Structure 1
Amino acid sequence: NCGPDLPGPGQYTLPPLIGCKAQDVTIWRSPCYSFGRKLKEVSSKSAGPGPSEYTVTNVTRFGKITTPCAKLNSRKISKVLQPLPGPDAYCPELHMNATLTRAPAFPFGRKYSYKPPVGTPAPNAYTIPDGRRMKGCLILGKRSEPKGAETPGPAAYGTPKIDLTRKRVFSATIGSRKEPKPPVALPGPGAYSPSYNYVLPRVPGFTINGKPNPCIKPYVGPNDNN
């Protein structure tokens, strides 16, 4: 009796779960911590004054407390004014009265020059014909009958042959009578004798294979332990 000569579970070398590389293939990545790079040394030169150098007198969380005062701004540049007379240079009472002596009225214009009339007849100089007269009819002479074209009529043409325009005219054909053939020498239904013994020699069944040989070792590749 050859026992199974297979490696046990302890014979396989599995990668550990420690580190970021060469880990178990079933886990995407194991939890790990990475170390940062070394920081540069702090320069001996100070970046600014310390907290004690600042003056925090009269400073609150709302801001610095100051006394209200007016701000002095620079003087604006004066613009050059136009040389116009001032209000006291006008004396409207010397030129016109403040009230009107009469009501507003429309003036009359000048007389236009006389133009001679144009030498055209008056409307009553025209003689308009009477409109009750109706338009008469004109009788012309007898026209000659139009001469028709000297071409044959539809009845002058014969019956066209359809075989010339189509591949073949649809028609029914009567074939010859077929001769009866002799019957084939085959056995009839009564000549058969179906039986179970002639159809299947035995009932269908499943076959059981033999027991595998335990002495035959399975094939183990070199990549099975990787």
Structure 2
Amino acid sequence: MGEVVRRRPIIAGRERGPGPGRYALPPTIGYINHDYTKPSSPAYSFHSRMSSNMVSVDSSPGPQYHVDAKMTRFGRDGTPSYSMLGRKKKTADTFQTPGPGAYSPEKAPPLNLHHKPPSYTMAFRTRYRSVDPVPAPNRYTLPNLFGSHIPHKAASASFTMSARRKAGGPSEDLSMTPGPGRYNSTEPSVYLNRQPSFSLQSRCNIPTDATRKPGPGTHSPEKVTAHLPRAPSFSMGVRHSEFVTPLIVDVLD
């Protein structure tokens, strides 16, 4: 007789949840509905079959191009080429190159801070003057410095004496002299620093609207957690597994 194998009952808690075959993951082959979390390789397609009639389809010109012999795969050949030409005839317009004796470098002006020795010339004899044309010091006439008629000289204030007024003028009758109220005084704030000026404004009315304002008991500052510290809060968690051994405590009556 064979050995009897005892099968233990399967725990119901282990049979919860689907198996691996129940999950439907996107494919990783092709580009239709490809898994966006995986890299995809380039996809290629098959072209249509080419025609086998090469005579009528092929339109290439063939080896009929004429390539210059001086053209290489690196460009045109850069070797110099020479030819024999006839001698040019001398004409009046032909430029004649001057010889070394035609140049005078000593006559060139000093350029680029070049040093040049001093050069002297012999001047003609000075003639004796029979009449000295230079005037004497007393022959000069300088403008008068009195008054304000010299435009390029600094002048002091100049005063003049006016004619006497007619009889009965302010000099004789002091009642004709203007008093202090006749002069127009300039506001000091025009040419001096202006001081602040104040004015009396109308009285402000106390707002007496009928809007209802909340009292101190309406506000709940303890519920503000945006910028203030918040006390820890607890919640009821999930039910523990039924496989956990319960805590048994002997209660003494």
- TM-score scaled by length of structure 2: 0.24
Q: Highest Rg: 1 or 2?
A: 1
Q: TM-score, normalised by structure 1?
A: 0.26
